[in-house]
């Protein structure tokens, strides 16, 4: 029987797609708004979307994958209106509990009304209580509530903290604790007793409320917990950390009037078994790829292709690509699905244009294997456009003379002036980009070249020349240009080319450049100019670009023939390397107290496989470093400590046993969370990690968070090792991908069997070929047997966990 003590991992993953909004309220004097979204996990901001300028119906289309700790409660989406001169206006929010997500394993997809952000609803944190029922027999029983401490309370005061106290209510009687000044991590250690009213055994409630004390204004609500007395009498005692909830009795009068968000969410909880459990299914799928290339029929890849629905095709494609990358068979896998797709396509104009498993798999492959190539290719031109911030517009109906400014002293530019200048500027951008594309054949990863080579040959074989001369080129550009380069130009932040989203002016420039690249990728200038005649001014540049792109593809698909070993090494696949670097403001402290003035200095910080290093410049010979195995925690720092909400701390141990803390100040919430995620994942296998930490700083002989006086006192908040964002450079995890493929195969098992017999009947399998057919049936039975073994292993894990939980409860 499989044991929980073996190497096993529990994971919770939340897939988030922020699609769009509608009917948002007007917040600007222009009669519009500039909305953006902040995503929070239990009130901790982890993501900020782009600002969509001058609209009440924004479209974001941003996707994120977040790895979560098992104890999270709520995911919230707060919509705000960006203001450049004043504080951003709050529009509303959508909150979804973990229970709702768990109840819908297929996911949540739809429009959700924004609600008012009520201060009494914006609660967070936990409180540590011990509640017991004392007394027996003739002695009147008492209800005892010991209030120990709280953590991560909401910040209600201007100083970045709160002055919390506890109010305990039962049967009309109320007690209050002392007030702890300037702390979101208070410690009380106070007890309160009530006479137990036996007549309220079934309906009695004990209420524990936390409030922020204010001298002048009314006290602010920080959250509450309710306890059923009947359950308490059965258990005699209840002790632990309890999540603080909002006041459910209040209802917003603005509900439904603040607009709505369209969201797609899906929570996935996984138990990943040790590698040995997945070896049979991985080997069978690998054999399937090899046998399919030899012409055997039918095989598992074909059945997966036929039975995968549109709603989960992207995820299945991504899992398959990563699984076969780990097995060294991704080139063969892609060749198989190219062959399957070509077999179903009669019209070359529709080739790879739909969202088939082949299209999604190739898209996933390019993102996993080609991101460093993309950064080198597009980085310079994207940076130039962001830095220049030129006003570019070709569509006469969208030209804004005020935006363009003056051409010279006292002379306003005309519409034709703007369009002419925009055309020249766009041609300059396009020329620079195409030059980079031509040069990139020398550094494109070899594996990508090989995949495009086999795609080129497969298409040429299916649609031979001279009738279909352009089809083989368009097959390559449909992936390279339309599904990789163009989306990255339009949304550089989503492809990690920029730390921040583009403003409205830069976004329009990027969109026009992406349109030109798409036209070149389609290799058809006439269609584009007929749909958007204002693009005709770019036609000569686009026509030249088509010729250049053909030359590039010819070079690219022949790169695999290079005998230059140094070149092949340089072009080798570079994915799954945990690396990150950039300028940050840094402060390092050992036992010394925090200085009164700002301690941060600018350093170039680099995260590599085994170290976190920092130096004054990127190429400085002198640098300091921290060994990753010595890192014990990577956590956020309270805003009040440095006056910034984007500070993180890296706590490490020295050889002497002393702790050292490195503070890093990031420019934005997104940069902060990317660095947190990268470091947490790089240290995920460390054995000396901390379970609690201090979110404050040690200053003037005490911790600013909980007011403990000894620097060595235990932390007042739990660490969040499990909260990370999924990144393109994350290392491959073969066991996780195999687990996800197993789950998908299990869900489509009956559909695969039905599809097999349907295809078998269509092919007209003869009795004479019954021996070969029997092998196919045996292969399918073998797959189902392997899936059943994995199912039994998971069932054993669940049973052992239930037994373990029951034992803990009885104790």
Span 753-766, pLDDT tens digits: 888 888 777 766 54
Taking 60 as the threshold, does the pLDDT of residue 743 lie above it? yes
Residues 6+ apart with CB under 8 A from 664: 584, 585, 586, 605, 647, 648, 649, 650, 675
Winning range, highest mean pLDDT, from 112-121, 294-303, 410-419, 611-620: 611-620
Whole-number pLDDT of residue 211: 95
Whole-number pLDDT of residue 594: 55
What's the longest Cα–Cα distance across the chain? Answer: 102
Residues 6+ apart with CB under 8 A from 129: 145, 146, 147, 148, 208, 225, 238, 239, 240, 242
Of 111-115, 345-349, 363-367, 592-596, the range with the lowest mean pLDDT is: 592-596
Q: Is 202 helix (H, G, I), strand (E, B) or coil?
A: coil
Distance CA(651)–CA(660), nearest Å, equals: 6
Q: Is 657 left (phi over 0), alpha (psi -120 to 50) or beta?
A: left
CA atoms within 13 A on the CB side of 5: 2
Whole-number pLDDT of residue 214: 92
Of 191-205, 366-380, 560-574, the range with the lowest mean pLDDT is: 560-574
Whole-number pLDDT of residue 202: 58
Q: Is 112 exposed, middle or buried (0-12, 13-18, 19+ CB in 10 A)?
A: middle
Q: At what angle do helices 330-343 and 357-369 cross, to 10 degrees?
A: 150
Mean pLDDT score, 144-165: 91
Whole-number pLDDT of residue 6: 46
Whole-number pLDDT of residue 117: 82
> Do the Cβ atoms of 642 and 672 come closer than 8 Å?
no
Q: At 808, give phi and psi (nearest 5°).
A: -60, -40
Which residue has tokens 């006056």?
A: 643
Nearest Cα to Cα of residue 169 among 151, 194, 141, 197: 194
Domain 14-118+253-269 in this protein, CATH class: mainly beta
Mean pLDDT score, 566-589: 63
Q: Is 276 exposed, middle or buried (0-12, 13-18, 19+ CB in 10 A)?
A: exposed
Nearest Cα to Cα of residue 79 among 70, 88, 87: 88
Confidence of residue 408 (pLDDT cuts 50, 70, 90): low
Alpha helices in 266-312 (DSSP H): 275-293, 300-307
Whole-number pLDDT of residue 772: 54
Confidence of residue 293 (pLDDT cuts 50, 70, 90): low
Alpha helices in 328-412 (DSSP H): 330-343, 357-369, 371-388, 401-404
> Do the Cβ atoms of 793 and 787 come closer than 8 Å?
no
Cα angle 156, 161, 164; round to 5: 75
Whole-number pLDDT of residue 763: 64
Q: What is the pLDDT of residues 779-798, one digit of tens each?
A: 788 899 999 999 999 998 88
Cis peptide before 298 (omega within 30 of 0): yes
Query: 684 vs 422, 630, 654, 679, 738, CA distance in Å?
Result: 49, 12, 19, 8, 20
Mean pLDDT score, 435-464: 92
Whole-number pLDDT of residue 694: 95
Of 147-151, 295-299, 338-342, 389-393, the range with the lowest mean pLDDT is: 295-299
Confidence of residue 654 (pLDDT cuts 50, 70, 90): confident
Q: What is the pLDDT of residues 666-714, one digit of tens each?
A: 998 989 999 999 999 999 889 889 999 999 999 888 999 999 999 889 9
DSSP summary character for residue 97: E
Taking 90 as the threshold, does the pLDDT of residue 651 lie above it? yes
Mean pLDDT score, 322-330: 92
Mean pLDDT score, 560-564: 50
Distance CA(174)–CA(168), nearest Å, equals: 6
What residue ranges in 118-159 does DSSP mark as E strands?
126-134, 142-151
Q: Is 96 helix (H, G, I), strand (E, B) or coil?
A: strand
Taking 70 as the threshold, does the pLDDT of residue 61 lie above it? yes
Of 3-12, 166-175, 472-481, 559-568, the range with the lowest mean pLDDT is: 559-568
Q: Is 29 exposed, middle or buried (0-12, 13-18, 19+ CB in 10 A)?
A: exposed
Domain 581-726 in this protein, CATH class: mainly beta
Whole-number pLDDT of residue 519: 92
CA 535 to chain centre: 36
Confidence of residue 569 (pLDDT cuts 50, 70, 90): very low
User: What average pLDDT does the chain have?
Assistant: 85
> Do the Cβ atoms of 640 and 694 come closer than 8 Å?
no
Confidence of residue 128 (pLDDT cuts 50, 70, 90): very high
**Percent of the chain surpassing pLDDT 90:** 51
What residue ranges in 598-697 does DSSP mark as E strands?
601-607, 611-615, 624-627, 631-636, 647-653, 659-665, 692-693
| Of 433 and 530, the one with more pLDDT | 433
Q: What is the pLDDT of residues 86-111, one digit of tens each?
A: 889 999 999 999 999 999 988 999 99
> Do the Cβ atoms of 404 and 418 come closer than 8 Å?
yes
Distance CA(734)–CA(76), nearest Å, equals: 32
Strand partners, 412: 406
Of 208-212, 353-357, 613-617, 746-750, the range with the lowest mean pLDDT is: 353-357
Cα angle 709, 713, 715; round to 5: 115
Distance CA(39)–CA(16), nearest Å, equals: 10
CA 325 to chain centre: 21
CATH 2.60.40.150 placement within the chain: 14-118+253-269, 126-243
Cα angle 282, 284, 288; round to 5: 115
Which residue has tokens 């209030």?
A: 147
Tell me the Cα Rg of the chain: 30
Whole-number pLDDT of residue 199: 73
Taking 90 as the threshold, does the pLDDT of residue 291 lie above it? no
CATH 1.10.506.10 placement within the chain: 345-399+414-573
10-28 in b/e form (b: 16+ CB < 10 A) is ebbbbbbbbbebeebbebe
Query: 124 vs 171, 279, 420, 660, CA distance in Å?
Result: 26, 44, 55, 29
> Do the Cβ atoms of 573 and 373 come closer than 8 Å?
no
Secondary structure of the chain: what % helix, strand, coil (to 5)?
40, 25, 35
Choose the CATH number for 345-399+414-573 among 3.30.360.10, 1.20.1260.10, 3.40.1360.10, 1.10.506.10: 1.10.506.10
Distance CA(447)–CA(325), nearest Å, equals: 10
Whole-number pLDDT of residue 252: 52
* Sign of the C-alpha dihedral computed for residues 705, 706, 712 and 717 taken in this order: negative
Fold of 126-243: Immunoglobulin-like (2.60.40)
Q: At 144, give phi and psi (nearest 5°).
A: -110, 130
Taking 50 as the threshold, does the pLDDT of residue 302 lie above it? yes
Confidence of residue 8 (pLDDT cuts 50, 70, 90): low
Taking 90 as the threshold, does the pLDDT of residue 363 lie above it? yes
DSSP summary character for residue 273: P
Distance CA(701)–CA(25), nearest Å, equals: 49
Nearest Cα to Cα of residue 183 among 672, 547, 703: 703
Taking 90 as the threshold, does the pLDDT of residue 21 lie above it? yes
Whole-number pLDDT of residue 777: 63
Distance CA(393)–CA(422), nearest Å, equals: 6
Q: At 84, give phi and psi (nearest 5°).
A: -80, -25
> Do the Cβ atoms of 32 and 23 come closer than 8 Å?
no
CA atoms within 13 A on the CB side of 305: 26
Confidence of residue 316 (pLDDT cuts 50, 70, 90): very high
| Of 567 and 407, the one with more pLDDT | 407
Taking 60 as the threshold, does the pLDDT of residue 468 lie above it? yes
Distance CA(222)–CA(150), nearest Å, equals: 11
């Amino acid at each position: 029987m499989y044991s929980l003590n073996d190497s096993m991992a529990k994971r919770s993953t939340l897939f988030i797609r922020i699609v769009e909004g509608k009917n948002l309220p007007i917040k600007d004097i222009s009669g519009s708004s500039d909305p953006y979204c902040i995503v929070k996990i239990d009130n901790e901001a982890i993501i900020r979307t782009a600002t969509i300028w001058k609209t009440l119906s924004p479209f974001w289309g941003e996707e994120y994958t977040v790895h979560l700790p098992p104890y999270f409660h709520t995911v919230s989406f707060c919509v705000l209106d960006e203001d450049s001169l004043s504080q951003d206006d709050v529009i509303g929010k959508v909150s979804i509990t973990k229970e709702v997500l768990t109840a819908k394993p297929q996911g949540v997809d739809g429009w959700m009304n924004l609600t008012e952000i009520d201060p009494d609803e914006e609660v967070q944190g936990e409180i540590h209580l011990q509640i017991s029922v004392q007394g027996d027999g003739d002695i009147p029983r008492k209800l005892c509530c010991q209030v120990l401490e709280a953590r991560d309370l909401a910040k209600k005061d201007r100083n970045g903290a709160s002055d919390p106290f506890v109010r305990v209510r039962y049967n009309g009687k109320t007690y209050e604790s002392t007030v702890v000044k300037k702390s979101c991590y208070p410690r009380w250690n106070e007890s309160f007793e009530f006479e137990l009213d036996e007549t309220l055994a079934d309906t009695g409630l004990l209420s524990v409320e936390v409030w922020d004390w204010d001298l002048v204004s009314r006290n602010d609500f920080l959250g509450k917990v309710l306890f059923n007395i009947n359950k308490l009498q059965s258990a005699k005692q209840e002790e632990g950390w309890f999540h603080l909830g909002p006041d459910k009795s209040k209802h917003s009068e603005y509900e439904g009037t603040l607009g709505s968000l369209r969201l797609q969410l899906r929570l996935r909880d996984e138990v990943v078994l040790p590698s040995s459990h997945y070896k049979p299914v991985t080997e069978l799928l690998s054999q399937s790829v090899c046998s399919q290339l030899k012409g055997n029929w039918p095989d598992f890849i074909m059945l997966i292709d036929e039975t995968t629905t549109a709603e989960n095709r992207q995820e299945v494609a991504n899992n398959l690509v990563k699984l076969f990358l780990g097995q060294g068979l991704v080139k063969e896998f892609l060749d198989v699905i190219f062959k399957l797709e070509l077999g179903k396509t009669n019209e070359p104009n529709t080739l790879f244009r739909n969202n088939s498993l082949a299209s999604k798999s190739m898209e996933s492959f390019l993102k996993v294997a080609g991101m460093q190539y993309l950064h080198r290719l597009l980085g310079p031109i994207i940076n130039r456009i962001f830095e220049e911030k030129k006003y570019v517009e070709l569509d006469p109906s969208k030209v804004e003379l005020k935006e363009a400014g003056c051409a010279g002293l006292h002379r306003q530019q005309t519409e034709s002036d703007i369009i002419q200048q925009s055309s020249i500027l766009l041609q300059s951008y396009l020329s620079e980009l195409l030059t980079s594309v031509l040069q990139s054949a020398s550094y494109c990863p070899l594996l990508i070249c090989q995949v495009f080579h086999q795609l080129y040959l497969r298409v040429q074989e299916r649609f031979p020349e001279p009738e279909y001369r352009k089809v083989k080129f368009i097959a390559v550009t449909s992936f390279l240009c339309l599904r990789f380069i163009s989306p990255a130009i339009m949304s550089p932040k989503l492809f990690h080319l920029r730390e921040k989203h583009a403003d409205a002016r830069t976004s329009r420039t990027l969109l026009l450049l992406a349109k030109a690249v798409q036209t070149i990728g389609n290799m058809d200038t006439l269609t584009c100019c007929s749909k958007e005649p204002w693009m005709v001014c770019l036609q000569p540049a686009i026509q030249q670009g088509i010729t250049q792109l053909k030359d590039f593809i010819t070079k690219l698909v022949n790169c695999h023939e290079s005998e230059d070993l140094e070149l092949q090494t340089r072009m080798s696949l570079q994915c799954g390397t945990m690396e990150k670097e950039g300028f940050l403001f840094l402060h390092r402290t050992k036992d010394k107290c925090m200085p009164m003035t700002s301690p941060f200095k600018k350093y170039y910080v680099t995260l590599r496989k085994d170290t976190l290093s920092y130096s004054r410049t990127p190429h400085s010979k002198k640098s300091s470093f921290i060994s990753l195995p010595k890192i014990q925690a990577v956590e956020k720092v309270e805003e009040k400590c440095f006056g910034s909400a984007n500070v993180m701390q890296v706590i490490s141990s020295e050889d002497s046993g002393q702790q050292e803390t490195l503070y890093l100040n990031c420019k934005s919430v997104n940069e902060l969370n990317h660095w947190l995620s990268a470091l947490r994942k790089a240290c995920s296998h460390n054995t000396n990690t901390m379970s609690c930490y201090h979110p404050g700083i040690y200053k003037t002989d005490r911790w600013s968070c909980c007011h403990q006086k000894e620097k060595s006192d235990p932390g007042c908040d739990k660490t969040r090792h499990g909260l990370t964002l999924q990144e393109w450079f994350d290392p491959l995890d073969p066991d996780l991908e195999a687990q996800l493929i197993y789950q998908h195969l299990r869900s489509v098992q009956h559909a695969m069997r039905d599809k097999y017999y349907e295809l078998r009947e269509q092919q007209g399998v003869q009795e004479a070929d019954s021996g070969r057919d029997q092998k196919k049936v045996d292969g399918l039975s073998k797959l189902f047997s392997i899936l059943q073994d994995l199912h039994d292993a998971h069932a054993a894990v669940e049973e052992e966990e239930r037994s373990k939980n029951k034992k803990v409860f009885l104790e």
